[in-house]
A and B are shown apart, each in its own frame.
Chain A
Amino acid sequence: MKHTSSVGKSNKTVLVLLILGLSTIIFPLYMTVVIAFKQPSEMTNSISGILSLPKVWSLQNFREAMEVTDFWNSLKNSLVISGLTVGISILIHSLMGYTLGRNKSSKFYNFVYLFIVSGMFVPFAILMMPLAKQTAEMGLANWFGVILLYVVFYMPMNIMLYSGYLTNIPLALEEAARVDGASTWLTYWKIIFPIMKPMHATVAVITALAVWNDVMTPLIIMAGSSENTLPLAQLNFQSQFGTNYNLAFASYLLSLIPILVFYLICQKQILNGVVNGAVK
């Protein structure tokens, strides 16, 4: 009882702090929304000017931004690429993370772990040219190649996350299944994979976000094809000598929605983790 009362009190403090912290997010967001609705001729360098509401609330910018980026088509490409990347990543990376996380005492697997994780630190710039050449040689200069590369790029981080998560999952769970005669493979899919649901959701969010915003990989790999992802299409708004911030902001707000929704769905999964119940 003592426990809950002290928590109740500190919760109010927490709430106040969270609301205060929120201002660092609300303010930039407010600016983004206001600018997305304004016309270029309403842009000024004065504070009152930038914070003022647009003269008319019209969806014209959004309509135009959707036209310029060929929104539905680019959205479809982005969704396909992000979706497949996330799906494949969860399947393959969790499996690999499990394998490496459960073999920490083996020299070989420890080496493989460090080998793959160190892949995270390769500066992308050094891979760009060789990858552009290699994917073209292999006939992978298309969105499939892009997905494949993403699966490889995010492998180190995801494997690190999965094998880190495994340290808190007791071996006893697997051993119980093993006694019942189940194979390692089956035990994994039946018991471990479901138990890592919060981590799947975390990996999904992190991977999806990285893929969703990435410009460089599709730019380099799909160079010369007419297919655009959303971030690629959004480059349309900026050139060296002029940037249409109003259209750009409208477009970014639009492309923010799908990933935000995805995050909110995943967030529920992160929190509804089954670990607490299962470990007892």
Chain B
Amino acid sequence: MNLTEKQLQNTIKKSIKKDRKSQELLFKTYYSKMMAVCMRYSRDHDTAQDVCQSGFIKVFEKLEHYNFGGSFEGWLRRIMVNTSIDYIRKSKKELKIIEDESRIETDVFHEDENDNNFVGLPVADVIEAIQQLSPAYKAVFNLYVMEDYSHQEVADALGISQGTSKSNLAKAKKKLRTLLKNKIKYDV
């Protein structure tokens, strides 16, 4: 479902005035994309739905603060990402505890020729693997790879050091490779 720029502006304006139909239209329009964001940060589909719901409620509460200049989808995404991270942060202290940079140097995985085997994996398998990562790994991996954050930005967003961001990314990838390799075994 796609809205023209004008329709979108109208729908947003009406939604600010708490028009239910317009709010529903916005939700319908962006549900798939925002659900995709939430899925990456969550441990399962149900949690993702919860976070996504909370995110949309925040969206409707904050809608009057949206300045019509920027990309609306980008704005939504940012709220979803923040809601997801808040959720992780609220549910676990984990983010702050995994600062063991010393061991990382030896753990860093380099490019692997076998990586190309993953190209054929079903999307659902990759999502499942991401969801199996620990919340901290998930957060770092998602922000860095999916949201194009720099390590500095990841560090700022999560309240960790840059080094921790780097080491967690490396560990996340190592873990993800293992998980994906298992998927291939099962698929074959």
Q: Do A and B come from one complex?
A: no
